[in-house]
Amino acid sequence: MNIRAFVNYHVVSKSPQAFHFDVGGIAGNLISPKLVATEVDVKDIRGKARHVNFDDDGIVFVKHNSAIEQFETMGDDESRYNHEIEALLKKTINACEVIVFDHTVRIDDPDSARKPARNVHNDYSCVGAKQRLIDLVGQQRAADFESGSFGFVNVWRPIERPITDSPLGFIRPSSMKPEDWMTIELVYPDRQGEILGTAFNPKHEWFYQSNMQPDEAIIFNIYDNHGRHYLAHSALDISGEKKSQLPRKSIETRTVVRYK
């Protein structure tokens, strides 16, 4: 069944736009650029996930059981989960090398330092991705990556319980226009990055998978040096639906992958 949901689009501006994180040294304190809440139609692809694939659409929905039980405080289990992610990406998207560099647990709770991202965006601009690669592997090795085929890939999954509120939604890349994208700066206390914000277009085709379980995951592209599609995405606030007593919990894992 399709749904209606609210998302927050970015606004085209001639002035530089930025998110400022942990402002004043306070964790979770965020200053945001202008966003516009917009109601959109969203197609539920539960049972129809084969209608999207990684090569054509930059995304795939998979079954994936993890041996990790506590993601919020993984500790020694982090290396085990990294190995799980590496094996999953090598099997599913033909990666020959995987570098896991970030895990972010998001909880849809007012007191959470990392809430679901509610702006329509892609995690990296081209400039941001190239700089992040250098930050992670150094200039010399980054040049080696650039000489072959590589990308930044996100692995997202529910944790502890099924997703009933604020599921993750995506725009089908074929429904995007180049002018829908804009550069947004990310300003942290210790570094700066760039993402791509998304402006409203009535032709955008939104989709999601309903009632996602902890043994399911989404693998989606966020940058590729050979032009594979990346996806605008956002948490969805489903129209007319009451919030669950148990907030949405998810973990997203960012990786750099090299392809065969």
Q: Which residues lie below 8 Å from residue 41, measured CB to CB, with a gap of 6+?
A: 2, 3, 4, 206
Examine the pLDDT at 255 and tell me if it is beyond 90: yes
Q: What is the pLDDT of residues 140-154, one digit of tens each?
A: 999 999 999 999 999
Domain limits, the chain:
3-259
Task: State the pLDDT at residue 178.
Answer: 96
Task: State the pLDDT at residue 50.
Answer: 79
Q: Is-contact 243 99, C-beta < 8 A?
A: no
Task: State the pLDDT at residue 260.
Answer: 86
User: Measured between alpha carbons, how far is 153 from 259 in angstroms, rounded to an integer?
Assistant: 12
- The pLDDT-based confidence of 181 (bands split at 50, 70, 90) is very high
Give how far Cα 15 sits from Cα of 18, 77, 183, 185, Å: 10, 44, 11, 12
**Least confident range of 22-26, 54-58, 172-176:** 22-26
Task: State the pLDDT at residue 23.
Answer: 75
Examine the pLDDT at 241 and tell me if it is beyond 90: no
What stretch of H or E contains 140?
A: helix 139-147
Question: How does the average pLDDT of the chain come out, rounded?
Answer: 93
Q: Which CATH architecture has domain 3-259?
A: Sandwich (2.60)
pTM of the model: 0.94
Give the residue-averaged pLDDT of 101-124.
93
Q: Is-contact 5 37, C-beta < 8 A?
A: no
What stretch of H or E contains 55?
A: helix 54-57
Q: What is the pLDDT of residues 75-95, one digit of tens each?
A: 889 999 999 999 999 999 999
Using the structure block, give the residue that is written with the tokens 């081209």. Answer: 126
Q: Which residues lie below 8 Å from residue 208, measured CB to CB, with a gap of 6+?
A: 3, 42, 43, 44, 45, 167, 168, 169, 170, 236
More confident residue, 32 or 150: 150
Ramachandran quadrant class, 205 (left: phi over 0; alpha: psi -120 to 50; beta: rest):
beta
DSSP state of 247: -
Examine the pLDDT at 192 and tell me if it is beyond 90: no
